[in-house]
Structure 1
Amino acid sequence: MTKPSLRAALNSGKFVAAPGLHDMITAVIANKVGFDFAYASGYWTTASAHGIPDAGIASYTQMLDRVATLCRTSNASIIADADTGYGGLLNVHHTVRGYEEAGVVAVQIEDQEFPKKCGHTPFKRVVPTIDMVEKIKVACEARRSTETLIIARTDARQVEGYEGALKRAEAFAAAGADVVFVEALESEDEMRDACRRIKAPMMANMADGGKTPIRSAKELEDMGYAMAIYPAMTGLAAAQAAFKALSAFKELGTSVTPAQELYSFADFNELIGFPEVWEFERRWARQSNEG
């Protein structure tokens, strides 16, 4: 199966809106709905796989396994959060190669110190700009395919202020980043100004509950963004649904209540591929009987 090219989409001027897929149930549901692109968030894949915070605790190996599984499961092309590149320049090189082999179409790296923090939580620290510039250059050199994009993120807005973050973003664009991502901007004015000043395709992070105002894909395109991720949407929706279901069960002692709607078990079996398994069983059971 040939998946959509992110580079081609951006070159054509098509705005890319990518929902976050935090687990494989969400991935197969997204296959049914239909998306060209989706996002593998470090925060949400870590939370769903391990139940721990996005604070540099999950290892490169754990994240690579999760990303590779998502790439195999999803029909969409996956844009993947690779945190800081999991270390120094050699680690960045190894990370880009690993993520590319896993099947992602874009690798996102950021300028935080290791261990990193979620971009919308406190106590972030950033590395010197030159260190991140070198990571971007190594990342660009490490990729084997021109279809693999490098997304450079700065978390300096809350550390060095808005102008400090923009100065870094300009340096990242000059270093060769295919897409620039200024994390946790705090107003629509900042978002518009950043798109106007940065001479590279810009990505917006629509993190529900975070510091940046949530805007629609059309509004972001009008501001000047080339693409946007919505990393928290499915994770928060799933958490709310699970909380509601469990609360009703604790109170009423049954899964069948007017307070919640359950996805069809028959439809879910189809989503995850049981019909193919049953057809296999029928075929080989028949051949065994004939033998």
Structure 2
Amino acid sequence: MLYSQTPAAEKRRLFRERLASGELLRFPGAFNPLSARLIERKGFEGVYISGAVLAADLGLPDIGLTTLTEVAGRGQQIARMTELPAIIDADTGFGEPMNVARTIQTLEDAGIAGAHIEDQVNPKRCGHLDGKQVVDEGTALKRIRAAADARRDPNFLIMARTDIRAVEGLDAAIDRAKALVDAGADAIFPEAMRDLAEFEAMRTALDVPILANMTEFGKSDLFSVDQLRDAGVNIVIWPVSLLRIAMGAADRALDTIIDEGHLTSKLGEMQHRADLYDLVDYEGYNHFDQDVFNFEITR
């Protein structure tokens, strides 16, 4: 009832323990707190919180316009609604190294299990768009050192994302990933890998967990969980998928209202009221306080 019963520090400890096992962990992207609860109910291992989704939720493009306050606030709302660990997209850390340090501590306070900091130039671009620019290696390493030095919970996962593959090629991406690990990164997010062989090359080169981004309409093919596991990937995210599906359904529903004047034909596609009430645990609130819940759920 209300929020997660597992303290944030315990979520982080359990997440680190599971990540160390070597199994592939699936982190679908939650676009709101309720979708995070659904992800948990379906049996996934974690929740991902995408910067692109947070920007889109505000009606903004994913070009670094969101603030730390907005990202941390929404991240807290999502993370506290599930027993699962949540990894959040912290873009370039919202400023210079000292800002990166503050970002990490703010996200720790928000109950997040880990965050990734990228090596793009501000204003950043979506990782699967052309025209990206990356910072020099020294600047990228300073961001990760600041993040690692700032965390207070050693189990908070500091992940370094590198976008250099699309700019300078795979060899440059491997070299930078190695340097980022030496600077304190616990895991690597190599963005926009072209094929499974590139993930395998990253796996061979690195001793830390790696993440695969299976975002639709991007530079990478959409590999299956089994393919990514065989390539040595440790975490896979589908960052914007649920938002895309939900917005696609909303778009079609609005067209149906325009064309048919009602949504009767769409009832089979909707989450039933009873299923929604079950997901938000109306019964739990009823047991807590009969005055809060005073009606019966009917199908």
What corresponds to 1:191 in structure 2? Answer: 199
What corresponds to 1:122 in structure 2? Answer: 130
Structure 2 counterparts to residues 33-48 of structure 1, below 5 A: 33-48=42-57
Query: How far apart, CA to CA, are the structure 2 residues paired with 1:114 and 1:201?
Result: 26
Unaligned regions of 5+ residues in structure 2, if any?
295-299
SS in 1 for 2:265: coil
- How far 1:106 moved relative to its partner? 0.9
Check whether the contact 2:212–2:235 (CA below 8 A) recurs between aligned residues.
Answer: yes
What corresponds to 2:147 in structure 1? Answer: 139
1:21 aligns with 2:30: yes
- How far 1:200 moved relative to its partner? 2.1
| Counterparts in 2 of 1:257 and 1:285: CA distance versus 1, 3 Å | closer
Query: How far apart, CA to CA, are the structure 2 residues paired with 1:12 and 1:285?
Result: 43
Query: How far apart, CA to CA, are the structure 2 residues paired with 1:226 and 1:56?
Result: 27
Given candidates 154, 161, 169, the residue that maps to 2:177 is 169
CA root-mean-square deviation = 2.0
- Offset from partner CA, 1:174-229 (integer Å, 9 cap, x none): 21211011100112222222222223221111111111111122211110112111
1:45 partner amino acid:
L
TM-score by length of 1: 0.91
SS in 1 for 2:161: strand
What corresponds to 1:52 in structure 2? Answer: 60
| Counterparts in 2 of 1:279 and 1:87: CA distance versus 1, 3 Å | same
* Count of residue pairs the alignment pairs up: 285
Check whether the contact 1:42–1:83 (CA below 8 A) recurs between aligned residues.
Answer: yes
- How far 1:14 moved relative to its partner? 2.0
What corresponds to 1:235 in structure 2? Answer: 243
1:10 aligns with 2:5: no
1:84 aligns with 2:123: no
- How far 1:258 moved relative to its partner? 5.3
1:180 partner amino acid:
I
| Counterparts in 2 of 1:284 and 1:114: CA distance versus 1, 3 Å | closer
Query: How far apart, CA to CA, are the structure 2 residues paired with 1:178 and 1:232?
Result: 24
Given candidates 258, 265, 270, the residue that maps to 2:273 is 265
What corresponds to 1:255 in structure 2? Answer: 263
- Offset from partner CA, 1:70-89 (integer Å, 9 cap, x none): 11112211011100000111
Unaligned regions of 5+ residues in structure 1, if any?
287-291
Check whether the contact 1:170–1:199 (CA below 8 A) recurs between aligned residues.
Answer: no
- Offset from partner CA, 1:21-50 (integer Å, 9 cap, x none): 1112312322332333110010012212x0
Structure 2 counterparts to residues 83-122 of structure 1, below 5 A: 83-122=91-130
- How far 1:162 moved relative to its partner? 2.0
SS in 2 for 1:134: helix
TM-score by length of 2: 0.89
